[in-house]
């Protein structure tokens, strides 16, 4: 059976989950952006989100992705 074009793939789903967690964290810390947070460079959650962004753009393929 063919996938519906509106159905999210596994990388998009993972990205959506990380985004929700990131937004929840921002809400808990009363910041509108990670850049307003004192933990910006040490934050594991943000690093996981950035990784999920790359993986969703490359669909899990390592290497070969360029800006």
Q: Each residue of 3-61: pLDDT tens digit?
A: 444 677 888 999 999 999 999 999 999 999 999 999 999 999 999 999 999 888 887 66
pLDDT value, residue 47 = 94
Residue 16 has what pLDDT?
A: 95
Check residues 27 and 1 and name the one with the higher pLDDT: 27
- What is the residue extent of each domain of the chain? 31-58
Structure tokens given for 21: 């967690």
pLDDT at 1: 40
Of 60, 51, 65, 67, the closest CA to residue 9 belongs to 60
4-41 in b/e form (b: 16+ CB < 10 A) is eeeeeeebeebbeebeeebeebbeeeeeeebeebeeee
d(CA 46, CA 34): 8
């Amino acid at each position: 059976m063919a996938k519906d074009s509106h159905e999210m793939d596994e990388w998009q789903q993972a990205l959506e989950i990380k985004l929700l967690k990131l937004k929840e964290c921002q809400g808990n810390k009363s910041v509108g952006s990670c850049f307003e947070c004192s933990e910006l460079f040490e934050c594991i959650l943000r690093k996981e989100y950035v990784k999920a962004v790359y993986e969703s753009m490359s669909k899990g393929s390592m290497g070969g992705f360029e800006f």
